Structure 1
Amino acid sequence: MSDVEKANSTHQMYDRQTKSSAPPPTRIANPGALGLFSFASTTFILSLYNLNARGVVAPNVVVGMACFCGGLAQLLAGMWEFPRGNVFGATAFTSYGAFWMSYATIYLPNSGIIAAYGENLDELNQAVGIYLITWFMVTFLLLIGALRRNISFIALLFFLCITFILLAAGAWTGKLNIQKAGGGFGILTAMIAYYCGLSELLVKGESWFGLPMGTIKQARVD
């Protein structure tokens, strides 16, 4: 067999392997906009509460949003990403859907979580700080996974990392200014998430314009 025939045979084998590893075709619509809007809206509301906007101190009103919008809707978006072959989107949406559901559970009276600490609010705050710093770790790992996707997702996860760090520090130290700083970065994170969601919603051929996500040039794989 000549070198040319060998090369052609190798390329054909590579093409077959690539096609076999590609995700199967699906009629499931892109759930990205749903997941991002749900995340952005719940984050926006809670961040305003962290800033004590309009004199609000207790964040309990966000429980409904955390259960059904940031939680259930985002969890479903993650489940729909799996058959589309989007591992990153499935992992991120499902993870943050679970985050919002677990966060809401803390503030549900019947869960008994807050009641278990009784009058020991400092212990509660320390526990919440550990909870938040754990989600910083998850977000940081997702940030690493997003480094070759696009600039918008990198910015989203980067500022979300800062938000979790500040909120955890605010819970550990009890300093209101640190908590408010976390609320400020949370609003910035929510705005970026809204932008990303709108970009996913503006489908080419069905919208008058699109929004750039800041494409990162992929390295060529031979």
Structure 2
Amino acid sequence: MIDEKDRNNIFIMDGTANPGPLGLLGFGMTTVLLNLHNAGYFALGSMILAMGIFYGGLAQIIAGIMEWKKKNTFGTTAFTSYGLFWMSFAAMLIIPALDLASVPEGAAMGWYLFMWGLFTAVMFIATLRINRTLQFVFGSLALLFFLLSAAEFTGSALIGTIAGYEGIICGLSAVYGGLAQVINEVYGKAVCPL
């Protein structure tokens, strides 16, 4: 029987899955692969572009939409933004191959990366209210964007290589965060600290 005072109230239980691991893994695995390239291990090719479009891009956008449904402004903003970062990054490499525009280089790419660094630095401030793993992911990602931006502005291959190794660490920290959430949820306790 419904109590008279609750007659006009609707109570909804959220029974949806946590989209955070999907977003973190899409971001982290794609970041590791791109930065293995930046560190000099292999050339930029279709494997990174495909990851950027689908797992780094589309999967993160889906996770962001799922976060929106959960009323998580941080997760929505982060996952959809970085999903669109990956798609725009891939497009910057595909569009010139179609002879529709030139590849952005030097200052143009430097400013693109700087703006993402600035966005990430502000998002890092928000992580100070969340958990240490996300603080590390966003702090190291802001550093990565600023290093990549500096490499573009200066033309320094050394800074680009340093950024590659730093990006591998950043990406692996996101992979850890995503997998830790999956493991903790499956076991119903904090097996992996966040």
TM bucket, shorter chain:
0.7 to 0.9
Residues 168 and 24 from structure 1, CA distance in 2 versus in 1: closer, same or farther, beyond 3 angstroms?
farther
* CA deviation after TM superposition for structure 1 residue 175, in Å: 0.9
> Are 1:105 and 2:91 matched, yes or no?
yes
State the structure with more CA Rg.
1
* CA deviation after TM superposition for structure 1 residue 208, in Å: 8.2
Residues 58 and 154 from structure 1, CA distance in 2 versus in 1: closer, same or farther, beyond 3 angstroms?
same
Q: Which residue of 1 aligns with 2:135?
A: 154
Separation of aligned partners in 2, 1:111 and 1:32? 37
> Which 5+ residue runs of structure 1 have no aligned equivalent?
1-19, 116-122, 214-222
Separation of aligned partners in 1, 2:159 and 2:133? 25
Q: Which residue of 2 aligns with 1:5?
A: none
Q: Which residue of 2 aligns with 1:47?
A: 35
Q: Which residue of 2 aligns with 1:67?
A: 53
Q: How does 1:117-196 map to 2 (within 5 A)?
A: 124-196=105-177
Q: How does 1:71-82 map to 2 (within 5 A)?
A: 71-82=57-68
Residues 204 and 29 from structure 1, CA distance in 2 versus in 1: closer, same or farther, beyond 3 angstroms?
closer
Q: Which residue of 1 aligns with 2:6?
A: none
Q: Which runs of 4+ in 1 moved over 3 A?
A: 57-61, 203-209
> Share of identical aligned residues, percent?
35
Separation of aligned partners in 1, 2:55 and 2:37? 17
RMSD, aligned α-carbons: 2.1
One-letter code aligned to 2:106: N
Higher relative contact order, structure no. (Cα contacts within 8 Å, ≥ 6 residues apart): 2
Q: Which residue of 1 aligns with 2:82?
A: 96
CA contact (8 A) 1:129 1:169 kept: yes
Separation of aligned partners in 1, 2:99 and 2:183? 40
Match of 1:202, SS? Answer: helix
Aligned with residue 210 of structure 1, among 178, 191, 194: 191
Match of 1:82, SS? Answer: helix
Residues 208 and 84 from structure 1, CA distance in 2 versus in 1: closer, same or farther, beyond 3 angstroms?
closer
One-letter code aligned to 2:20: G
Residues 149 and 208 from structure 1, CA distance in 2 versus in 1: closer, same or farther, beyond 3 angstroms?
closer
Structure 1 length as normaliser, TM-score? 0.76
CA contact (8 A) 1:49 1:59 kept: no
> Which 5+ residue runs of structure 2 have no aligned equivalent?
1-8
One-letter code aligned to 2:157: L
* CA deviation after TM superposition for structure 1 residue 83, in Å: 1.1
